[in-house]
A and B are shown apart, each in its own frame.
Chain A
């Protein structure tokens, strides 16, 4: 377990997690569903995932839980659940000075709703909202459903979001940022007519084309995401699968109409490049998570990424849904 000035985080046993909950700690917890279901009620939110980066490197575990203890950080902590109906209220309920940590269940309607609409929520970019998308062991694909749990009632949900709103004292401020090794490649520019998780026909360098046909004809490595440049922030959309018969491509996050995308340039050595661009986590990092696709594609099992730890997730939230990106939140003194 890693201790810092802002609380501790790391892998713990079920018994250790139970003790922390019983001591009324405010926790964000990631772990296998079978463990999360055994936790007592308390001030915690959780999501299902068995993949983690800890101090020893990338690992998969069904008998450990990853904990971020937020107790010592906030002056006020508020736990809420959201359905698709009241999801836009998330931003209103976020503290004016502080941050919100949200967990959404993978593959759910509420994730789709958040992914498509969150960038348009009022004040969404004014308040730091970090989080992740829950998942399952890849061996359980088809039989397991990603869940989230509001520790106050202990109920697992596959179509609700949970959030922990953490208010900070006036002397502190939260900073949210990302580490994305992918940059736009030199190749073609893609623009899609409609926003969504599936796309086919599009403009390729301004000329009508089909993205599925393009991937097939050019034999593109679909482990490389589409990358959009948001005023200097590189935002990935990862490719889930391509159906050349139907002429459609499915994504892990929506593409947005009116945005120019390029396929990413390849990353040569993930560990080296990650270490080079990642700021020193120091003691101010409160939360971070990385993408399960980075774990898989970059073969991170047993390897460390600087001294960054946290769950590997089915999607990352830094205000909006991201893919193949590390997101992190730090709490610093107000200047």
Chain B
């Protein structure tokens, strides 16, 4: 019981939600927490009967120390604002809103997947799942993506390595919008860039926020930085003389 009160306090869980069960797996360094809604008027009645609304979802939440935290809850088809319930997640998604926000902040800071996974103690496959669903436009439109600061206290060594000195314009430069939207036509020779730019174009058109569009521009820019030496033909067309 004390455990439950403790977890409710540190996770910020308030009525009508409450924790119905917790389980700790010491060897696996994992805590599982079950959360449900109280039935109206049942506060003083025992036992409390959780209100079930659909099948149980399981989301990974921000870790507790070295322990991974998994939240179990049934939310049905309801869409619940993440600001009010950061410990909850979207149906079918791997992470709670709070952990999703943290993952996207880090990706927005151009950290590699492996660094994000290592820092947040999450699996690559889950991060990829999140990114994939973002790409096809299923997550919430209000999910922050880029341009946010990494939370204070993050390991300094995990920050993205300094970019090499480059003449490639920053992601905010209007040239990237022109290239992606085909306002500036570029004759492309490299197969990888042809395929990438097609994908980015499609995602850019469907992006519903500036943050997502910035993410796409950053992806394209990353290709140019990585292949700068072999992209002279393309760079001559987009860089100012």
List residues of A whose CB falls within 8 A of some B CB.
85-86, 88-89, 92, 117, 119-123, 125-126, 128, 173, 175-178, 230-233, 235, 258-259, 318-320, 334-335
Q: How far is the CB of A11 from chain B (nearest CB, A)?
A: 28
Question: With A and B bound together, what is the CA distance between A78 and B196 in angstroms?
Answer: 26
Distance to closest chain A CB from B233 (angstroms): 11
Q: Cβ of A173 and Cβ of B230 under 8 Å apart?
A: yes
Cβ of B193 and Cβ of A125 under 8 Å apart? Answer: yes
The one of B125, B131, B230 that contacts A85, using a Cβ cutoff of 8 Å: B125
Compute how far the CA of A117 lies from the CA of B136 in the bound complex, rounded to whole angstroms: 11
Residues of chain B at interface, number, CB under 8 A: 30
Report A164 CB to chain B, min CB distance, Å.
Answer: 19
| Residues of A contacting B198 in the complex (Cβ-Cβ under 8 angstroms) | 230-231, 233
Residues of A within 8 A of B113 (CB): 92, 122
* Given contacts A120-B132, A231-B197, A231-B198, A126 and B192 within 8 Å (CB-CB): yes
Is residue B101 within 8 Å, beta carbon to beta carbon, of the partner chain? no
Q: Point out the residues of chain B lying under 8 angstroms from A119, CB to CB.
A: 195, 199
B131 touching A120, Cβ below 8 Å: yes
The answer to whether A125 and B230 touch across the interface, beta carbons within 8 angstroms, is no
A202 to B227, CA, bound (A): 38
- Interface pair B195/A320, CB less than 8 Å apart: yes
Question: Across the interface, which residues of B come within 8 angstroms of A230, CB to CB?
Answer: 194-195, 198
**With A89-B124, A125-B223, A173-B230: A319-B202 Cβ-Cβ less than 8 Å:** no
The CA-CA distance from A175 to B231 in the complex, in Å, is: 12
Interface digits, B165-188 against A, CB 8 Å rule (1 contact, 0 not)?
000000000000000000000011
Does B38 have its Cβ within 8 Å of any Cβ on chain A?
no
In the bound complex, how far is the Cα of B195 from the Cα of A119, in angstroms?
8
Q: Which residues of A contact B124 (CB under 8 A)?
A: 86, 88-89, 92
Contacts of A175 in B (CB 8 A): 190, 230
Closest beta carbon of chain B to A238's beta carbon, Å: 18
- For the complex, give the distance between the alpha carbons of A312 and B85 in Å: 55
Chain B residue nearest in CB terms to A86: B125
Q: Which of A119, A177, A233 has the most CB of B within 10 A?
A: A233
User: Which chain A residues border B125 with CB–CB below 8 Å?
Assistant: 85-86, 88
Kindly identify which residue among B128, B187, B194, B223 contacts A121, using a CB–CB cutoff of 8 Å: B128
> Are the C-beta atoms of A126 and B222 separated by less than 8 Å?
yes
Specify which chain A residues have a CB less than 8 angstroms from the CB of B114 in the assembled complex.
92
Given A86-B125, A232-B194, A235-B195, 14 additional A-B pairs, CB 8 A: A92-B112, A119-B199, A120-B131, A122-B113, A122-B128, A175-B230, A230-B195, A231-B197, A232-B188, A233-B191, A233-B194, A233-B198, A258-B206, A319-B195
Q: In the assembly, what is the distance between CA of A122 and CA of B199, in Å?
A: 12
Chain B residue contacts of A335, Cβ below 8 A:
229-230
Binary contact track B116-143/A, C-beta < 8 Å → 1, others 0: 0000000011001001100100000000
User: Which residues of B are found within 8 Å of A178, using beta-carbon distances?
Assistant: 191
6 A-B pairs in the complex with CB atoms less than 8 angstroms apart: A88-B125, A92-B114, A120-B131, A122-B128, A122-B131, A231-B197
- Which A residue sits closest to B197, measured CB to CB? A231
Min distance, Cβ B238 to any Cβ of chain A, angstroms: 14
Residue B226 CB within 8 A of the other chain: yes
Enumerate B191-221 residues with CB–CB distance to A below 8 Å. 191-199, 201-202, 206
- Chain B, residues 87-126, CB within 8 Å of chain A (1/0): the string is 0000000000000000000000000111000000000110
Neighbouring A residues of B128 by C-beta, 8 Å: 88, 121-122
B131 in contact with A125 (CB, 8 Å): no
Give the docked Cα–Cα distance between A51 and B196 (Å). Answer: 32
Residue among A123, A125, A319 with the highest chain B CB neighbour number at 10 A: A125
